[in-house]
Amino acid sequence: MQKSHKSVAIGLIGFLALGGSVGAQNIDKVKKMTAEQAAILVQRPGPLSLGSLASISEETAKALSQLTGPLSLGGLTSLSPDAAKALTEVKGDLSIAGLTTLSAETAAALAQHPGPLLLDGVAALSEDTAKALARHTGMLSLDGLPTLSDEAAVALAPFEGSLFLGGLTTLTPTVAQALAVHSGSLFLSGLPAIPEEAAKAIAQLKGPLFLTGLATLSTEEAKALAAFEGPLFLSGQTKLSPDAAGALSQLKGGVLLVNSLSTLSDEATKALVQLKGPRFLSGLPILSDPAITALAKLKGPLFLSGASTLPGESVNALQQMNGGVLFLSSLTALSKESVAALAEFKGPLFLSGLTTLAPEAAESLAHFKGPLFLNGLTTLSAETAKSLREFRGPLILSSLDTLSDEAAAAIGLMKGPLFLNGLSTLSPAAAKSLARHSGTVALLGLAELSSDALLFLSGNPQVRLPEDLNVRN
């Protein structure tokens, strides 16, 4: 026997009261929904997925538009322009991945949605539909498009937000030339290769370019892309020849991300050093001594988050970097020699891969002069805290979820800014110690405090607390 609208509404009210992941999964199985039921459902907080709805009326769409979180309608196979217009009022991401075709009228209505619009099921795009979508002002994802005609590319190019075309596996020079007019970020993550002429055309793009599906890059293609004036993301590259690296070192945009490399020759490393901008080489597990020596000559940021260990000799070379920023966020262990060498580095130091820090290592790092990021630490022993108390630069420990009274007493004596935004609560004794700190103390992650702890912290004007703090009396 089919359930009445009233019984379904009662079920929805029960879901709102009980909540839970099982309820969310069950809602995703609903195949029909009235406006009355939708109005009840949107009272639940957070995202809403209705993956089994094949169609919705304009009235139901109007009710769903009152949702304050992301809305996913992955089962919709048809959508009228009026229903589409109603859905644009949703205050969050709007994903309608089930639509395989999209009329120009429906596209024009959906383009009025001010937030991210995901239409990843659309398999073909006419010129008129593309022209309508180009008027959208938020992020636009069309990752299901396997091809894009020259006319549709020209019509879509004036779109100014982030554009995702991850379904394209080929890029002709004419389509590349059309898309180069686009002024926002362009994601072409499905391209396994890019012909030289297409690379020359797309290099005229004004916004960031993501070619994250390219596994290899020839010297000619690299030379063509080097004319690009924005940030270039090639995170799918597993190999990079010295010639291709040399070509990319001339990149006019100056920002290069190549974070899937398993190896990089010394010659290629030396070539990349010539790039005048940040280099993200975060996938490399091991670098040779000559490569490290070459990288040490950099004058800009260096992201090396692939290696889990670095010998002291390598760190000694890296400390010669002139005013750079060093990201070693995958290091899980540091030798005594490495710590001593890192302490001499001139510039911000990211060691967010360390989950523990021995007191002896902390004592060496206490002599470091720049900002120190230790965001991998979830706990801090009193002994390690005492070893760090001579540190004078900003100390970022944003993953600490607990802080003992003894550790708080030690780091409260430090002179530089303290960032402890991972703490959700503090004891009155710990709060009293931190309140004595002479610099900024950021505690923006606190959820609750006792009134005693709050009064201690409130006596220091440099303590930063969240506005929605819950105070226990």
Model pLDDT, residue 24? 58
Which position has the higher pLDDT, 160 or 14? 160
pTM as predicted: 0.70
Residue 304 pLDDT class (50, 70, 90 cuts): low
In SS3 terms, the chain reads as CCCCHHHHHHHHHHHHHHCCHHHHHHHCCCCCCCHHHHHHHCCCCCCEECCCCCCCCHHHHHHHCCCCCCEECCCCCCCCHHHHHHHCCCCCCEECCCCCCCCHHHHHHHCCCCCCEECCCCCCCCHHHHHHHCCCCCCEECCCCCCCCHHHHHHHCCCCCCEECCCCCCCCHHHHHHHCCCCCCEECCCCCCCCHHHHHHHCCCCCCEECCCCCCCCHHHHHHHCCCCCCEECCCCCCCCHHHHHHHCCCCCCCEECCCCCCCCHHHHHHHCCCCCCEECCCCCCCCHHHHHHHCCCCCCEECCCCCCCCHHHHHHHCCCCCCCEECCCCCCCCHHHHHHHCCCCCCEECCCCCCCCHHHHHHHCCCCCCEECCCCCCCCHHHHHHHCCCCCCEECCCCCCCCHHHHHHHCCCCCCEECCCCCCCCHHHHHHHHCCCCCEECCCCCEEEHHHHHHHHCCCCEECCCCCEEEC
Model pLDDT, residue 250? 85
| Res 307 pLDDT > 90 | no
Structure tokens, 11: 């079920």
**Averaged over 303-327, what is the pLDDT?**
64
Residue 16 pLDDT class (50, 70, 90 cuts): very low
Model pLDDT, residue 473? 83
If you average pLDDT over each of 259-268, 302-311, 348-357, which comes out highest?
348-357
pLDDT digits (tens, 9 = 90+) for 196-210: 999 999 999 988 999
| Res 18 pLDDT > 60 | no
Domains of the chain, with CATH numbers? 368-473 (3.80.10.10)
Which position has the higher pLDDT, 412 or 303? 412
Residue 244 pLDDT class (50, 70, 90 cuts): confident
Cα 291 versus chain centre, distance: 29
**Averaged over 440-466, what is the pLDDT?**
93
Which position has the higher pLDDT, 24 or 347? 347
Please name the amino acid found at residue 191: L
pLDDT digits (tens, 9 = 90+) for 148-198: 999 999 999 999 999 999 999 999 999 999 999 998 999 999 999 899 999
Model pLDDT, residue 269? 77
Residue 29 pLDDT class (50, 70, 90 cuts): confident
Sequence length of the chain is: 473
